[in-house]
Amino acid sequence: MNTVNSRRDFKWLIITFISLTGLCMVELFEQITYVTNWLIGDIVTNAENFRKFHHVIDAGVFHFPTSTIVMVGFIALVIKKSGFIKNPIEKKIIWKAFVVFLITYAISVYIITAINVPVFNENSVPIDEIPSKLKLWGILNIFRILLPAFAIFQLTKLFKLKERN
């Protein structure tokens, strides 16, 4: 592999790694702050207060562009021109991390469309269903922390492999 392609691939790895790490940290922050604030005390009142708090902008403003960057980064790493795909060990690492990210992305889409929008944006969920929706959000968000953490761990293996070469 020539040096220009190698540098390009490494830049995509760095961009993907940093963006994925950012997403993971935001999910951890949300788990610690949002879930705790939603589930302690009167959940319905807490949801209403959260809705008022996020009346102008919400976390999606961070999540959407960052997830898009991660997706583009992984696509750049798995295309046939990528040097990572030519090495079987690196290829396996990239694909494991990418598949885990795709699962995380699917969970995020579900949370946004089935929980966040109906509960917080549209206020269309019956009051008696809000506690179960927010508890489900908290449970699913644990996967939105653990899965990207696994993907980040996989990507760190590439840094170690590249360091040896």
Backbone angles phi, psi at 107, to 5 degrees: -60, -40
Q: Write down the domain spans for the chain.
A: 3-164
Do 144 and 108 meet the contact criterion of CB atoms below 8 Å apart?
Answer: yes
Do 68 and 108 meet the contact criterion of CB atoms below 8 Å apart?
Answer: no
Q: Is the pTM of this model over 0.75?
A: yes
The token pair that represents 139 in the structure block: 């449970």
How many CA within 13 A on the CB side of residue 93?
A: 21
Q: Which pLDDT tens digits describe the chain residue by residue (165 residues)?
A: 467 778 889 999 999 999 999 999 999 999 999 888 888 889 999 888 888 887 777 777 888 899 999 999 999 999 888 888 888 999 999 999 999 999 999 999 999 999 998 998 888 999 999 999 999 999 999 999 999 999 999 999 998 877 666
User: Which own/partner contact pairs does 53-58 have at CB distance under 8 Å and 24+ positions apart?
Assistant: 54/120, 58/116, 58/120, 58/121
Please name the residue that has the structure tokens 């990528």.
Answer: 82
The token pair that represents 154 in the structure block: 């996989």
Report CA-CA distances (Å) from 151 to 62, 112, 115, 143. Answer: 19, 22, 25, 12
